Amino acid sequence: MRSATALRERPAPVAPPVIDPRIEDRRRAVSAEHARRRNRRVGTALALVGVVGGAYALTRSAALDVDRVSVTGVSGPAATEVARRAGVAPGTPLIDVDPAAVAHRVEKLVWVSDATVERHWPGGVTIEVVARQPVAVDRRGVALAADGSVLGSGVPGGSRSLPRVDIVAGRTGSTLASPMATVVEVLAAVPDHLRADVVEGAVRGSDVVLTLDDGITVRIGGPDRLVAKFVAVGALLEQADRETIEAIDVRVPSSPSVRPRKGTDRAADASLTEPPKEGA
């Protein structure tokens, strides 16, 4: 039983503070505004998720997949080979096509010098190819590039009439060894106005020798001063009757010489009266 003193010491209950109705209304308004802002943020986030998801789904749909792969710069079997090496299958999402990676795959073809790949929305891929031009063929018709690279058979430009090098080249992608690489280097330097005349390149001793379509042989020597040497060849062919010429020697382009065919009236040595300027 509690004593009277304990009952007297019990604190009286404290009444809650009286809040001004205007303050209470303001609190409710602020709380409601916070709720509205939170709902707007959530709604905006959900809308963005929907837009991103829709865009992603669209890029994966048939509307934005690869419908066509176009190859320019080459045609026929070469274009077919480029498309095959590109590895871009119809139906691939266009967004997944990496132009740099596709170009790298195409440039692994030994006869391709450069490849540029572009995507065209909604469904196109264009591959522009710069082909390395062959300058000669071996005994089997395998194309050879100016730097001695073996380009292989069926390459762009390889079907046209090209001078022959009397060797059997190695596998596609390999490089000719010297001195045959030097022969190809010389053939690549033949000027346009003489190119159709040259039918073969060979090595005799330490010299590169070219054979023309009428049987005339041209002793070039090494791959030095080629511009001057071919200027001398052109001048000699213009000044002399080709039917009387058996061989031309331009190893020293400032002093070229001609060996006449046996039995011709012009059996004397026919040299240029005015040597061509070297480097012309």
* Segments in the chain below pLDDT 70: 1-20, 24-26, 29-30, 32-33, 35, 39, 42-63, 158-160, 264-280
Over the stretch 33-90, which tens digit does the pLDDT of each residue have?
A: 676 777 677 666 666 655 555 445 444 545 578 999 999 999 888 899 999 999 999 9
Cα 280 to Cα 238: distance, rounded to the nearest angstrom: 17
Provide the Cα torsion 237, 238, 240, 241; round to 10°.
Answer: 90
Residue 30: half-sphere exposure toward Cβ, Cα within 13 Å: 6
Average pLDDT, the chain: 82
Strands across the sheet with 207-212, in order?
Answer: 150-152, 143-144, 136-137, 164-165, 198-204, 207-212, 217-221, 245-249, 257-260
> 12: which 2 tokens?
């009286």
Q: Are strands 245-249 and 217-221 parallel, antiparallel or unpaired?
A: parallel
Record the tokens describing residue 47, joined without a space: 């809308």
Q: What is the pLDDT of residue 161?
A: 85
Render pLDDT for 173-195 as a digit per residue (tens, 0 to 9): 899 998 999 999 999 999 999 99
